[in-house]
Chains A and B, each alone.
Chain A
Amino acid sequence: ESVLTQSPATLSLSPGERATLSCRPTQSDTRYLAWYQQKPGQAPRLLIYDTSNRATGIPARFSGSVSGTEFTLTISSLEPEDSAVYYCQQRYKYTFGQGTKLQIK
């Protein structure tokens, strides 16, 4: 079974800082990931598809990348509205990671 491990579980940063969220699949041949943002009481929103492509309407401060088997979601300069839980997802059985909670101080 292929699992996605997200880290850290919680991240607390200030506005203007850079956030780096990690997602590691146990299956080494995972080539593409998607990233979602979910705010309390809302449905998830697609941020990034195919590892590094921003979805429609997503601000340029959100970016996705991969190095080896580690996938990364970077938010270059945090805004207060970026406070949310972020999930990665892989193609294999559409598996989601357990989420990273990002808190803006």
Chain B
Amino acid sequence: EVQLVESGGGLVKPGGSLRLSCAASGFTFNSYMMHWVRQAPGTGLEWVASISLSGNYIHYSDSLKGRFTISRDNAKNSLFLQMSSLRAEDTAVYYCARDSRGFDFDYWGQGTLVTVSS
């Protein structure tokens, strides 16, 4: 059974940093591109970042302005999102998702809530 389990969310002050993790199981992790998607309270879905199978190709949403870094550890079947210079507008549930065919996401984690507030 494919499972994606996010962790690392919590309350952080504006300007602070946080590292999210996503533990993958039930599939060959290094065979899939992975993504982070976020959802601010009461709003829609926003793609955040993607990383290729080996980690060589990385893309970010233009809105992040270089504050986030996506990475993966294929040996540990894990995906990460390092977030810095956090702002109130980064408050959201962050999901990791598996890319099945190049842009559609066939499996999602349950999400981890990041709250940026003083």
Contact = CB atoms under 8 A, between A and B. Distances in A.
B27 interface: no
B41 interface: no
Interface residues of A, number: 24
Nearest to B98: A46
Contacts of B47: 93-96
A99 B109 CA distance: 20
A67 to B, nearest CB: 20
Interface string A75-102: 0000000000101011101111111000
A55 interface: yes
A50 B101 contact: yes
B44 A96 contact: yes
Contacts of B61: 93
Interface of A: 32, 34, 36, 38, 43-46, 49-50, 55-56, 85, 87, 89-91, 93-99
Ranked 5 nearest A-B pairs via Cβ: A34-B104, A94-B47, A43-B108, A91-B103, A49-B104
